Chains A and B, each alone.
Chain A
Amino acid sequence: MSVSPTGAHPAPMIAARSLGKRYGSVPVFEDATFAIAPGARIALTGANGAGKSTLLAVLTTLAAPSAGEAWIGAHAVSRASSALRRTIGVLAHRPMLYEELSPGENLRFFARLYDVPAADERCEELLRALGLWRRRDEPTAVLSRGLHQRLAIARALVHRPAVLLLDEPETGLDADGLALLDELMLCAPGVTVLAATHRLERVARWADGTLHCARGRIAASGAAAATPVEACAPLVAVRT
């Protein structure tokens, strides 16, 4: 079931039905069923090892589900289609950047890979927005962890994805970086966000609801303490 904030029932942008993932005989999570409405911003919470990154790996098509199915828009995750991958922007817990290339070279490469129109202009736009323009020609290896993360944000946004799947996006960011993260990703209008995070004190700033991973189950939960559960619940319907 997918429920919008207004009570209408649009097709979900992210959905899972009886989704499970196991490595060998070890289950990471089982029987996860949820739906996230278009434009919703959902925090994925849980302790270390609870399965947050694995759920994101399944949704990003990096890991095949062991059971059930998930969808991004109308695209089944198990089919791992190019159309699905064009829809998502991925920010993993590692920046996923070529250290020997400059920020400009990294971004232009991914823009070409995603067949972004007017790629040079798009890359300049992102590098300026994320405060990397002056350092665009330096090797990425010499950048700080926070600047790595900013560049990773630019990489995830380069093709203007409709869905953002983020794994601990706050990693390494200073106050300015966090503000950019909020503005460009977590609070971006019209973009559906599912972000794994341990920064529960920040969840109230951006999240409409939460999915909570614990003991191999994925369940709806109140967002952070500052976010009323009733504000979260309509956006995420979960059966465990």
Chain B
Amino acid sequence: MSAHDVLRAATPHAEPRAGATLGATCAVLAKDLRLLWRRRASWLAAATFATLSVLTYAFAFDLVTDDVRPLLPGVLWVTFLFAGVVALGRAFADETEQGTLDALLVAPVPRTTLYAGKLVAYFCALLAIDVAMLALATVLFNVGLLTPQLLLLTALGAAGYVSLTLLLGTLGSRVHAREVLLPVLALPLLMPLLIGGVRATGAALDLPHGDAPWLWLLVVFTFWSAAASALLFPLAVER
């Protein structure tokens, strides 16, 4: 086949085929999962940070109390939040630095599609770390944490967390001080998620938690952050 045949071998289809958007989302998802594995240093750093945090809490609390259950919800969610900052800090920074964000933006797919694919990939990765933390905390604190209810709360929290921090990571991806900027921007906005997560986890562990529907707070926050971020992402990548 000659070089000119490379250009002329087939006629491009002018209109996208049915399912093209879903196909593009899956392509971004598969690409990001592959890249997450190959760039696993940052995820290993996040997992190491989370492991050390839980271990440190376990040793520290062991010195002052025999009943760590009231402290567990706070320990788990604070660890989740900070491990996520480490893990997600470069979600869009690598795309910006390699110029691949521009390659994605000139592709004929809705920009929300790019966001959705990346969201699912990073959700899977963060959820894996969070579940590993639950397993570790179960052993260290001798409290059953791998229950369906806590796994659901963790998944909801991870979804809300990733959807918001991905948007903020996009906004900060062209800023030199992004490693500082992301937690400064994200943590205040994540307070509803922290409060809902801690309270709902307390309820799941049969701790006093008040009458408010904490699980619903978590659901509403996750839905709001996912929907708002999906709508704002096209504006966030605009130059």
Chain A residues within 8 Å of B, Cβ to Cβ: 57, 60-64, 82-86, 88, 90, 92, 94-101, 105, 109-110, 112-115, 117-118, 122, 125-126, 128-129, 155, 157, 159-162, 180, 183-184, 188-191
Q: Whole-angstrom distance between the alpha carbons of A96 and B105 in the complex?
A: 11
7 extra interchain contacts, Cβ-Cβ under 8 A, other than A62-B106, A62-B239, A100-B34? A101-B34, A112-B26, A125-B9, A126-B6, A184-B3, A188-B4, A190-B7
B110 to chain A: which residues have CB within 8 Å?
A: 82
Q: Whole-angstrom distance between the alpha carbons of A155 and B7 in the complex?
A: 13
State which of B1, B10, B12, B102 has its C-beta within 8 Å of the C-beta of A96: B102
A62 to chain B: which residues have CB within 8 Å?
A: 102, 105-106, 239
Q: Is the CB of A113 within 8 A of B4?
A: no
State which of B20, B23, B24, B98 has its C-beta within 8 Å of the C-beta of A99: B98
Beta-carbon contacts under 8 Å, B1-34 to A: 1, 3-17, 20, 23-24, 26-28, 30-31, 34
State which of B6, B15, B106 has its C-beta within 8 Å of the C-beta of A129: B6
A18 to chain B, nearest CB (A): 20
Given known A60-B106, A82-B16, A85-B107, contact A112–B24 (CB-CB < 8 A): yes
Given known A95-B99, A100-B38, A115-B16, contact A129–B3 (CB-CB < 8 A): yes
In the assembled complex, 5 residue pairs joining A and B whose CB atoms fall closer than 8 Å, in A order, are A110-B103, A110-B107, A129-B6, A157-B6, A184-B6
B105 to chain A: which residues have CB within 8 Å?
A: 61-62
A183 to chain B: which residues have CB within 8 Å?
A: 3-4
